Amino acid sequence: MDVRTRYTETLQFAAATIGGPARLAAFLNVPRASVLRWLAGEEAPPDQVFLDALDVIADGPYADPERRRIKVGVLPR
């Protein structure tokens, strides 16, 4: 399975979880047209969109865009 397929399937599951592409676009704060292209597999979404879609799946249909998780980075020594 290539990365685009994995991203597409994750976004499809996130859209189904939150109530459709329009609600997913609102949650992700991106244009609906972009979400539709990603769902169709026409292009891969940015990494942050993929990670936010995973948050939607984890939080379920009550995912709240205002309650964003803390983003963590690893700094080299």
The answer as to whether 67 is a domain residue is no
Is this model's pTM higher than 0.85 or not?
no
The answer as to whether 42 is a domain residue is yes
The answer as to whether 27 is a domain residue is yes
pLDDT (average), residues 11-27 = 93
DSSP for 48-76 reads HHHHHHHHHHHHGGG--TTSPPPP-----
How many angstroms separate the Cα of 64 from the Cα of each of 1, 55, 67? Answer: 30, 10, 5
- Structural domain span for residue 41: 3-61
The answer as to whether 70 is a domain residue is no
The answer as to whether 18 is a domain residue is yes
pLDDT (average), residues 31-37 = 96
The answer as to whether 32 is a domain residue is yes
> What total of structural domains would you count in the chain?
1
